[in-house]
Amino acid sequence: MVQNNSVGIVAPQRIRFNEPIALKSGARLPGFDLVFETYGTLNTARSNAVLVCHALSGGHHVAGVYADDPTNWGWWDNLVGPGKPLDTRKFFVVGVNNLGGCYGSTGPLSVNPETGKRYGADFPMVTVEDWVAAHARLADHLGVDTWAAVIGGSLGGMQALEWTLQYPDRIRHAMVIASAPKLSAQNIAFNEVARQAILSDPDFHGGHYAEHGVIPTHGLRLARMVGHITYLSDGQMGEKFGRQLRHGEHQFSFDVDFEVESYLRYQGDKFASFFDANTYLNTTKALDYFDPAYTYDGDLAAALARAKAKFFVASFSTDWRFAPSRSREIVFALLHNRLHVAYAEIDSDAGHDSFLLDDVHYHAVLRAYLENISV
Amino acid sequence: MSNGNPLTAIERERFDFAVIANWIPPGERVLDLGCGDGKLLRYLRESKGVFGYGVEIDHESVLGCIRNGVDVIQIDIEGGLSGFENQSFNHVIISQALQAMHATERILGEMLRVADEAVVSFPNFAYRTNRAAIAQGHMPVSENLPYEWYETPNVRFFTIADFEALCGKLGIEIRERLAFDDTGQAVTDDPNLNGSLAFYRLGRKA
């Protein structure tokens, strides 16, 4: 893959926070590490910092590539770089692996200082609110009082939204893409199927699989397969695979007959080879629990009353996981509060995953919005 | 404004903005339906300090709004304005766009639900040069109606008289009407014949 305008070789950093953090669940962590990457330069006014929040499987490696792993490009490299819509000549861009993640930030794979063993299932459940509280510590460390913008797709968009509620004075623009103000019953149902796949894997061992030297690969694989279906559109799957047969004819067996089966198995295998099952379980629960309106009798407009940021909201026409109507809920709650918002409903055939792609119009809209952010 | 020549498209747009702005008090909350690339809202923000949102369905226009730094909501208003709260705006504007929408009655009703007053501007299809074109056997094409019949975005072809009859039927109060010929001269004598551009300030009947 040719990478134009890339930030090039990057390296992750690690920061330790020794101050305990009280989590929304009531649990506490005595301290924690976050791994992160930065691209571009923080200006002297410290007014050009942009936080990129990741979704379920993403992490801190947003852009560029590693010197010792030259095919491992950041997950949003098409967006972030010199001359790209999120232009690193203008902005200081920060990617961070969320608390509880499995790419290096403190999480279930980390060693519990109290036991000397990996946390595994004992790692406390973390929420979107907890992630944002942890991000704020990173902002403090970086000298960023106020983000020029916080941007994210899907679950990342929820973090951008949460930033406007938890730290309304520390974020000027929230860019909430392919997201929702809370999960629907159907969204939660899909998450539950994914969790049951993991929880019922004999190798799960109540979440302490690491101590048994195994990984619940089978469950993770199934979880990813069902999740992956929700990231794509029916039309796109049909276009990509249709009813193509792997062996040219029906095999009358439960091996791969149809190409789409092969594709899903491949996606499941790939994911299970690098993602931690406990992080997956926790992250899906974080999604389920996220609901800023929960303590406002379901009134999202009331929940957003404390937000001050200007918003960019975007959805994709074929996204059925977080359909455009879910973004409109956010938009109308913002209108109620007389907040600035630009809302674009992008035509795309790629379903939920559209937010990761470099569709020309989508990127033009992002570029236009980002260009108007003063730094 | 008038030099005796028909207004060009750019002049007509400026003219449209100026007439509308004259009806918008400073600092108001404004909703602009079919806002295009947001130029009117930007003009109202800069000249009147309004706080406003545009509504637009066209992708390129939405991009234009974002480039212009205008708050825009990309939705299709043919289905109404559900989501917009009652009386949440001082003025709702539909400038040179009503003729391109199907759900005329619904949109007019919705406009006066979400705002205290509506401002509507549209091209009068009964203007004398349009009548002359029809009399010659052809659909009118002019600076004001710059499309051939087979490519026009307009879907509702109506006149000042038609519009006022519909307002009567819908219980909409016409609070003010201005009509101008194609050079930008105000018209008072038989506006349905002599008016090319029509502007209305509308409210609900008390």
Is the CB of A332 less than 8 angstroms away from the CB of B67? no
Q: What percent of chain A has pLDDT over 70?
A: 99
Instruction: Closest CB to B66: pick one of A328, A347, A365.
Output: A365
Instruction: Closest CB to B71: pick one of A328, A341, A346.
Output: A341
Question: What confidence score (pLDDT) does residue B7 get?
Answer: 86
Is the CB of A343 less than 8 angstroms away from the CB of B51? no
Q: How confident is the model at residue B1 (pLDDT cuts 50, 70, 90)?
A: very low
Q: Is the pLDDT of residue B64 over 90?
A: yes
Whole-angstrom Cα distance, residue A369 to residue A190? 33
Tens of pLDDT, residues B25-57: 999 999 999 999 999 999 999 999 999 999 999
Q: Comparing C-alpha atoms, which of B137, B166, B134, B140 is closest to residue B152? A: B140
Q: Is the pLDDT of residue A216 over 90?
A: yes
Tens of pLDDT, residues A98-151: 999 999 999 999 999 999 999 999 999 999 999 999 999 999 999 999 999 999
Is the CB of A332 less than 8 angstroms away from the CB of B66? no
Residue A321 near residue A231, CB atoms below 8 Å:
yes
Q: What percent of chain B has pLDDT over 70?
A: 99
Q: Which residue has the higher pLDDT, B2 or A189?
A: A189
Contacts of B51 in chain A (CB under 8 A): 338
Contacts of A371 in chain B (CB under 8 A): 67
Whole-angstrom Cα distance, residue B205 to residue A116? 77
Count of CB contacts below 8 A, A vs B?
Answer: 54
Tens of pLDDT, residues A34-44: 999 999 999 99
Tens of pLDDT, residues B169-184: 999 999 999 999 999 9
If you compute the radius of gyration of chain B from its CA atoms, what whole number of angstroms results? 16
Is the CB of B85 less than 8 angstroms away from the CB of A328? no
Question: What confidence score (pLDDT) does residue B9 get?
Answer: 84
Quote the tokens at residue A243.
């009813």
Question: What confidence score (pLDDT) does residue B206 get?
Answer: 78
Q: How confident is the model at residue A207 (pLDDT cuts 50, 70, 90)?
A: very high
Separation in Å, CA of B75 to nearest CA in chain A: 8
Mean pLDDT, rounded, for B71-88: 95
Find, in chain B, the residue whose alpha carbon is nearest to that of A325.
B75
Question: What confidence score (pLDDT) does residue A115 get?
Answer: 93
- The torsion angles phi and psi of A342, rounded to 5 degrees, stand at -115, 120
Whole-angstrom Cα distance, residue B39 to residue A310? 20
User: Would you state the torsion angle of the CA atoms of residues B85, B88, B89, B95, taken in this order, to the nearest 10 degrees?
Assistant: 0
Find, in chain A, the residue whose alpha carbon is nearest to that of B60.
A361
Tens of pLDDT, residues A245-288: 999 999 999 999 999 999 999 999 999 999 999 999 999 999 99
Instruction: Closest CB to B63: pick one of A336, A340, A368.
Output: A368
Full set of structural domains in chain B with CATH? 9-204 (3.40.50.150)
Mean pLDDT, rounded, for B140-168: 94
Q: Which residue has the higher pLDDT, A2 or A170?
A: A170
Whole-angstrom Cα distance, residue B21 to residue B121? 12
Q: Is the pLDDT of residue B4 over 90?
A: no
Contacts of B73 in chain A (CB under 8 A): 331, 335, 341, 343
Tens of pLDDT, residues A76-104: 999 999 999 999 999 999 999 999 999 99
Whole-angstrom Cα distance, residue B150 to residue B165? 28
Question: What confidence score (pLDDT) does residue B3 get?
Answer: 64
Give the strand pairing for B197-204 and B172-180.
antiparallel
Q: How confident is the model at residue B21 (pLDDT cuts 50, 70, 90)?
A: very high
Any idea what DSSP says for residue B190? S
**How far is C-alpha B198 from the chain's CA centre?**
8
Instruction: Closest CB to B66: pick one of A328, A342, A347.
Output: A342
CB within 8 Å of chain B, chain A residues 313-352: 328, 331-332, 335-336, 338, 340-347
Any idea what DSSP says for residue B186? B
Whole-angstrom Cα distance, residue A135 to residue A205? 32
Q: Is A355 exposed, middle or buried (0-12, 13-18, 19+ CB in 10 A)?
A: buried
Q: What percent of chain A has pLDDT over 90?
A: 99
3-class DSSP state of B56: strand
Is the CB of B66 less than 8 angstroms away from the CB of A344? yes
Q: Is the pLDDT of residue B131 over 60?
A: yes
Q: Comparing C-alpha atoms, which of A78, A201, A149 is closest to residue A311? A: A149
pTM of the predicted model, to two decimals? 0.96
Q: Is the pLDDT of residue A3 over 60?
A: no
Mean of all residue pLDDT scores within chain A: 97
Contacts of B29 in chain A (CB under 8 A): 338
The residues of A annotated as belonging to the active site are 154, 319, 352
Q: Is the pLDDT of residue A2 over 80?
A: no
Contacts of B69 in chain A (CB under 8 A): 372
